[in-house]
Amino acid sequence: MHVDLDAFFAAVEEKNHPEYKGKPIIVGADPKQGSGRGVVSTCNYAARKLGIRSAMPISRAWKLCPQGVYLPVNYELYEQVSSRIMRILRAYADKFEQLGIDEAFLDVSQTTSSFEEAEELARKIKSAIRDEEGLICSVGIGPNKLVAKIASDHRKPDGLTVIREDSVKQFLRPLSVEKIGGIGKKTKERLNSMGIRTIGDLASYDVTRLRKAFGSWGEEFHRMSQGIDESEIVEEWVTKSYSREHTFQEDTSDKGLIQSTISDLCTDVAAEVARNGFFFRTVTIKIRYEDFETHTHSRTLSFASANPEALKAPAIKLLEPFLLTDKKVRLVEVRASSLSERIEQRTLES
């Protein structure tokens, strides 16, 4: 199950200020009567009706709707509301993974025994968020994370979309390729220039040609276009682990810098693991974009190690898909977990 709040920042403002109800609310940079720089973070659905969207220049939003309510981003407030919502959601999940400030994956495959039961649970979750926080969310339910996330976005606001295994292909076929997480604007344009517009186009495209164009990502795109996704829900760091994070001085899209930062963090983390007498098996990276969307991805090795290279190689690989977007990166983190105590190697003589 994937849960995503509707018009999150704007909805929090609307709830705190009943006097704004029904008006277009735009959260983001100061419009300064039309001469402001910067962009729209988000806006409510009344503003979306007028054509305003996230990431649009604020000056353009002003042109479309000078009579709207313009508010600065109060990130601290949204984060407080977010953490209360995440606490509510977590209680319904067997396994829980927060993805961004307003979205999370819930593994409910143990708690529920059918898609009908999962749907019923989703209704309960929607009511709980409405009753306790006065906010509306959309929920997607599917056989895996990929499908659930696309489904939650399908009928916003206040959506509830259930996609069973046997209707995955039919559901995905007509959708634009950019609905697939990891396919950003640039990749979408390259796909379009190859005549690939819908997920259906991608699914029926020759995989060898995709591989030539995008390397191993071509194969991954092809798998995703068929609704295949075996990635697991990554629980927050519950087990003991060692980690280091780095916030860039300025948000960056310099891939070389991001990779070398990850590599340096790996060196430090591996050294700390070794110093404390442990081996690690699980490597996790976290990446936060300029808009605070945050992703974590892990891989568990088949062997335990304290070697920095054993951390670096998978960390760099896990990072790759997150560098395909146009968004700038704010923060990266490397974590080593699934620790085991290091047993000193005995020599033959001893």
- Spot the catalytic one: 14, 103, 133, 333: 103
- Amino acid type, 306: A
Do the beta carbons of residue 202 and residue 222 sit within 8 Å? yes
| 178 classed as catalytic | no
Q: Which of 234, 280, 288 is nearest to 258 (CA)?
A: 288
**Cα–Cα distance for residue pair 350/226, rounded to 1 Å:** 56
Question: Which residue is it, tokens 């395909």?
Answer: 324
135 or 339: whose CB is closer to ligand TTP?
Answer: 135
Helix count (H) and strand count (E) of the chain? 13, 13
- Tell me the closest approach of the beta carbon of residue 293 to ligand TTP, in angstroms: 7
Nearer to ligand TTP by Cβ, of 248 and 292: the residue is 292
* Contact by Cβ (8 Å): 305, 283: no
Q: What whole-number distance in Å separates Cα of residue 283 and Cα of residue 241? A: 10
Report the candidate in 51, 23, 31, 55 with the shortest Cα–Cα distance to residue 41. 55
Q: Which does 157 bind (CB under 5 to 8 A by kind): Mg ion, ligand TTP, none?
A: ligand TTP
Using the rule CB under 6 A, is 284 a contact of ligand TTP? no
How buried is 348 (Cβ within 10 angstroms: 0-12 exposed, 13-18 middle, 19+ buried)? exposed
Q: Which is nearer to Mg ion, 325 or 338 (CB)?
A: 325
Q: Which does 109 bind (CB under 5 to 8 A by kind): ligand TTP, Mg ion, none?
A: none
C-alpha–C-alpha distance, residues 298 and 337, integer Å: 10
Q: Does 7 engage in binding with ligand TTP (CB under 6 A)?
A: yes
Residue 42 binds to ligand TTP (criterion: CB under 6 A): yes
| Whole-angstrom distance, CA of residue 259 vs CA of residue 268 | 15
Q: Which is nearer to ligand TTP, 9 or 205 (CB)?
A: 9
Interacting partner of 285 out of ligand TTP, Mg ion, none (Cβ under 5 to 8 A depending on kind): none
| Cα dihedral 7, 175, 320, 256 sign | negative
Q: How many C-beta atoms surround the C-beta of residue 185 within 10 A?
A: 12
Which parts of this chain interact with Mg ion (CB under 5 A)? 4-5, 8, 102
The minimum distance between CB 213 and ligand TTP, in angstroms, equals 27
Residues paired with 71 in a beta bridge: 27
Candidates 291, 304, 313, 324; binder of ligand TTP (CB under 6 A) is: 291
Kindly state whether residue 9 participates in binding ligand TTP, applying the rule CB under 6 A.
yes
Q: Give yes or no for residue 229 binding ligand TTP (CB under 6 A).
A: no
Binding of ligand TTP by 55 (CB under 6 A): yes
101 makes contact with ligand TTP (CB under 6 A): yes
What's the min distance (Å) between Cβ of 25 and ligand TTP?
A: 11
Q: How far is CA 38 from CA 18, 59, 130, in A?
A: 27, 8, 32
Minimal distance in Å, beta carbon 83 to ligand TTP?
14
Shortest distance, position 324 Cβ to ligand TTP, whole Å: 16
Q: What residues from 136 to 175 belong to the interface with ligand TTP (CB under 6 A)?
A: 156-157
Residues found near ligand TTP in the complex (CB under 6 A)? 4-9, 41-42, 54-55, 101-103, 156-157, 291
| Positions marked active-site | 103
